[in-house]
Amino acid sequence: MALLLGIMLMGLSAQAFAYEAITGPTGVLFYDRAKAYQGYTLFDPTVASKTTYLIDMQGNIVHTWTSEYTAGLHSVLLPNGHLLRAGAVPKKAEEGYCGIGGAGGIIEEFDWDGNKVWEYKLFTKGKEIQHHTFCRMPNGNTMILGWETISNREAIKLGRNPVTVPRKPIMSKGIPTDKFWMDFVREVNPEGKTVWEWHVTDHIGTGPKKLDFNYILPEPMGGTYANYDWSHFNTVNYIPETDTVVLNSRNLSEFYFVNHKTGEIEYRWGNPSAWDTTARKPGYWDDGSQKMFGNHCATPLKNGHILLFDNGSERPQDRRSRALEVDPKTGEIVWQFATRHTNSFNSHRQGAVQRLANGNTLITSTHGGHIFEVTMDGQVVWEFISPIFAGKIKAVVNNNDAFAPDAHLDAMTNMVHRAYRYGEDYPAFYGKSLTPQGYIGGDDCPRFFRDYHAGAVVAAPVQAPAAAAKAPAKAASDDGGDGPAMVAY
């Protein structure tokens, strides 16, 4: 009975609100056909899965692709029907390999039938590795985000305060790290030739157009964030109209506009205290001048604005995740979405946003495998919980499906780094079969969105008056057979 009631409380309104439960359903939880943007959603389970899924609005699988690698960390569907996917090359727990979260190593392109037609491997032991993401440009080139190593001595020569340089290796995901992994961007053409690069190491310094190597996160952040994983970029995007590269730093909590021709940082937003000595730094219960905390997925919009996933991790005043739309011309937040209770939407790390053609926003809350669509006025019109937990399908999630605290911070094993929605008229689907191949949660998984209706109430089973008078009193049962039923109107 308690479980049934808890499940019903999930969606008594299409508006996001709070309910807290340890056990709950997976798959499509809510679907407002009239208000949702119709199309197909692409996503990669992050943990122990080598399959990329394309599902319809009701959660039916319509297509899949399979790689030899687990996700590193996401895919995009190109207009020609090809899948461009980042993979995680296996890394051994020995010195020289990168153990920082987000490390991948290879970009693969598959045609609709799953044949590999292109790849670019950026993975050299102890020297460089692709991480987090990539961007296919209008001219067919591909921008790839990477890390490259510099030694402690080289870091000090660049201006790093020697006091903040570790004296012994730092363990990260079971791998000892004794070098600084510095962000860079590489643009390669279809033949795999490098045609442009941008390196953080070329932009170290102070002031608005430089990155301060001595602006560092506090040691209690843990892992390598305060030292060897200094800037931790997670986004590379491109604005062809202005020939601008868009980058995003998790650790510095900023996004950047970089001139593609000159390499100069022309604009930055999110955390003035990372470069302006007069800016107010965060305090115990004060955000200071900082606007976002641990952000991801800086996405340029057609109106010139930037859409972001603000994780809110380590935010002093209010630790919650949000989707933000920022106008770079004014520096103002012009739209945002957050739930009333942080339990409903909060990803400590990772996350993504996509502005859909009808003005809605698709949000990926990574740590809960939670993907949902909201309108501009904040109404939730589609909601999905990935049922793929560490490679296994589960119709119901519970406490055992979360990572242990010492293995991963505040995350479930159904993590999804990014999801994308493609409209029904997207060119990739021309002439393709999109026949449903079964529900994403498996044949035995309840279709919660179908069986639940807005306005459902708990009611006693309906009995004829004569039968009710003769029937003996029964104790409430937990199997749903004799207890209250969910009645829709």
3-state secondary structure 236-293: EEEECCCCEEEEEECCCCEEEEEECCCCCEEEEECCHHHCCCCCCCCECCECCCCCCC
Task: Check residue 460 and give its pLDDT.
Answer: 47
Task: Check residue 474 and give its pLDDT.
Answer: 38
Task: Check residue 467 and give its pLDDT.
Answer: 42
Strands 244-249 and 392-393 turn out to be unpaired
pTM of this prediction? Answer: 0.90
Q: Which of 70, 40, 45 is nearest to 57 (CA)?
A: 40
Strands 51-55 and 39-45 turn out to be antiparallel
d(CA 204, CA 212): 6
Task: Check residue 3 and give its pLDDT.
Answer: 41
CATH C-level class of 27-454: mainly beta
Give the three-state DSSP class for 439.
Answer: strand
Annotated domain spans of the chain: 27-454
Task: Check residue 39 and give its pLDDT.
Answer: 98
Task: Check residue 369 and give its pLDDT.
Answer: 96
> In degrees rounded to 5, what are phi and psi of residue 51?
-110, 140
d(CA 159, CA 275): 15
Question: Which helix H or strand E contains 154, and what residues bound it?
Answer: helix 152-157
**What is the distance, to the nearest Å, from the Cα of residue 58 to the centroid of all Cα atoms in its chain?**
21
Task: Check residue 455 and give its pLDDT.
Answer: 58
The length of the chain, given as a count of residues? 489
Q: Which of 376, 384, 244 is nearest to 304 (CA)?
A: 244
CA torsion angle 71 72 74 80 (round to 10): -90
d(CA 294, CA 235): 12
Q: What is the pLDDT along the chain (489 residues), one digit of tens a residue?
A: 334 434 444 443 445 556 788 999 999 999 999 999 999 999 999 999 999 999 999 999 999 999 999 999 999 999 999 999 999 998 765 567 888 999 999 999 999 999 999 999 999 988 999 999 999 999 999 999 999 999 999 999 999 999 999 999 998 777 889 999 999 999 999 999 999 999 999 999 999 999 999 999 988 777 788 899 999 999 999 999 999 999 999 999 999 999 999 999 999 999 999 999 999 999 888 899 999 999 999 999 999 999 999 999 889 988 899 999 999 999 999 999 999 888 899 999 999 999 999 999 999 999 999 999 999 999 999 999 999 999 999 999 999 998 887 777 788 899 999 999 999 999 999 999 999 999 999 988 888 888 776 555 544 444 444 444 444 443 333 333 333 333 332
| Beta-bridge mates of residue 256 | 247, 268
Please tell me whether the peptide bond between 308 and the residue prior to it is cis, using omega within 30 degrees of 0. no
Q: Which of 12, 25, 10 is nearest to 386 (CA)?
A: 25
Number of H helices, E strands in the chain: 4, 34
In the DSSP assignment, the letter for residue 225 is T
Position of tokens 């079969």? 433
User: ∠ at Cα 115 (114, 121), nearest 5°?
Assistant: 105
Q: For the residues of 156-224, what is the DSSP string, one character each?
A: HHTT--GGGS-SS-EEETTEEE-SEEEEEEEEE-TT--EEEEEEGGGGBSSSTTSB-TT----GGG-TT
**What is the distance, to the nearest Å, from the Cα of residue 199 to the centroid of all Cα atoms in its chain?**
24
Question: Which helix H or strand E contains 2, and what residues bound it?
Answer: helix 2-9
**What is the distance, to the nearest Å, from the Cα of residue 384 to the centroid of all Cα atoms in its chain?**
14
d(CA 124, CA 105): 9
d(CA 356, CA 319): 27
Residues 6+ apart with CB under 8 A from 402: 411, 412, 413
CB 53 within 8 A of CB 43: yes
